[in-house]
Chains A and B, each alone.
Chain A
Amino acid sequence: MKNIKILGSGCRNCQTTYQLIQETAKARDIEIELEKIEDMATILGYGVMSTPGVVLNGKVVHAGSVPDRNKVEGWLSGNT
């Protein structure tokens, strides 16, 4: 099962990203483990300064904006 972490200190775009990934996974019927990381030290620990950031299986795949749906689908269906 894929583990996805949303990095963001509670900003609006971070909520949007969280919902987008949740909804996309639901629509595709893919089970994922989705977490919110709000602690600044942890976020920066990933090397991300512009939120929201997305961590897929421990690897930062996106930072600085709400990702578009195609990208999200790519993460969910990809083999990595």
Chain B
Amino acid sequence: MFDTLAAFLVFNLASQASTSQLGAALHFFVMDVVKILVLLTTVIYLMGWLRALFTPERVRALMKGRSGPGARLMAVGLGAVTPFCSCSSIPLFIGFVEAGIPLGVTLSFLIASPMVDLAAIAVLIGIIGWKITLIYILTGISIAFAGGYILQAFKPERWVENYVWQIHMGDAQIEAEEITLRARHDYAWREVRQIVGRIWKYVVIGVGVGALIHGYVPADFVARIAGDGSVVSVIVAVLVGVPMYSDAVGIIPVAEALLGKGVPLGTVLAFMMAVIALSLPEMLILRKVVKWPLLGIFSAYLTTAFIGVGVLFNALRTVL
């Protein structure tokens, strides 16, 4: 459907030849922007309607007083259904610490929340297909889950800023609003406006980059610089991805274009995860609550994990 629509707009209305580079790029751009925005809006609206999107307050209340593997899995799961916004990282962090949730569990949540995100999952399925989506989700969950244990082993409590321990949270409960159809619609629509309003620019930039790669970058060029799937190429992909930042949804069209040009799956996965889960702005925000050594270990763990994922899946490709 989206394909037909984009083909009509680009090839008929704008009379671009379907074989030209500009035509191919435009077609990719129109199709993906429309498709992603429709998918995003639908998923967020439906989740909002069901009130299945979790707020940080609800997550904290659910997690309070829990520890152990069950709590860790729960943290990762809640991370997936909590719409991610770097603006809530600090209150979440402090709120979790104050609720007595172990730091490892909190860090698991902070890794999972941007990476395994419901909206991103829906867009991944729609754009790249369910198989790769499943691989992405499973590796994302594993990295977040294992990360909790590994980071905990460093006794990260000593790197939490002192003032964090002194904060006492109130328990002011916002009175439940009446759940009429109208209220559900308003709530869901507000979520859509808020989330789409925040990430649409990443979508447009991401699709733009994807379209340029799709239309203008020759496949053999891509294959030469990123295509062999060697360990070095994965390391380079991760190191390129780390300083970049995009919402999970925005990087998907780039991944689509890279896969289309024959870049191996492991390399693409590693790159995507590096862009989404590790970013300088997020680090600077977290710096308000934890000291540099913990941020260093946090980044080092994630970087290593992403390289591991890339190497693993590139190796599987030759084995399978």
Binding site for B on A (CB under 8 A): 9, 11, 13, 40-41, 43-51, 59-66, 68
- The answer to whether B172 and A47 touch across the interface, beta carbons within 8 angstroms, is yes
CB-defined contacts of B174 to chain A, threshold 8 Å: 60-63
Closest CB of chain B to A4's CB: distance in Å?
A: 15
- The answer to whether B94 and A64 touch across the interface, beta carbons within 8 angstroms, is no
C-alpha spacing A11/B56, complex, angstroms: 17
With an 8 A cutoff between CB atoms, is B221 at the interface?
Answer: no
C-alpha spacing A45/B98, complex, angstroms: 11
Closest CB of chain A to B287's CB: distance in Å?
A: 14
Contact-residue bracket for chain B: 20 to 34
Interface centre among B55, B87, B92, B168 (most CB of A within 10 A): B87
C-alpha spacing A40/B92, complex, angstroms: 11
Overall SS of chain B's interface: helix
C-alpha spacing A56/B200, complex, angstroms: 33
Closest CB of chain A to B63's CB: distance in Å?
A: 12
- The answer to whether B167 and A59 touch across the interface, beta carbons within 8 angstroms, is no
Could you give 14 example pairs across A and B, Cβ below 8 Å? A40-B167, A44-B94, A44-B169, A45-B169, A47-B169, A48-B57, A49-B60, A49-B88, A50-B55, A51-B87, A59-B172, A65-B190, A65-B194, A66-B194
- The answer to whether B173 and A11 touch across the interface, beta carbons within 8 angstroms, is no
- The answer to whether B170 and A44 touch across the interface, beta carbons within 8 angstroms, is yes
Contact mask B94-105 → A, CB, 8 Å, 1/0?
A: 110010000000
C-alpha spacing A50/B54, complex, angstroms: 11
Q: Out of B88, B173, B190, name the residue touching A47 (CB < 8 Å).
A: B173
CB-defined contacts of B55 to chain A, threshold 8 Å: 49-50, 63-64
- The answer to whether B87 and A44 touch across the interface, beta carbons within 8 angstroms, is no
Closest CB of chain B to A38's CB: distance in Å?
A: 12
C-alpha spacing A9/B56, complex, angstroms: 16
CB-defined contacts of B91 to chain A, threshold 8 Å: 40, 43-44, 48-51
Q: Out of B94, B163, B172, B191, name the residue touching A60 (CB < 8 Å).
A: B172
| 12 more CB-based (< 8 A) A-B contacts, given A40-B91, A44-B170 | A41-B163, A41-B167, A45-B170, A49-B55, A50-B91, A51-B88, A59-B172, A60-B173, A63-B55, A64-B55, A65-B190, A66-B194
- The answer to whether A40 and B172 touch across the interface, beta carbons within 8 angstroms, is no
Given A46-B170, A64-B55: A40 and B94 within 8 A (CB)? yes
Interface centre among A13, A50, A63, A65 (most CB of B within 10 A): A50
With an 8 A cutoff between CB atoms, is B178 at the interface?
Answer: no
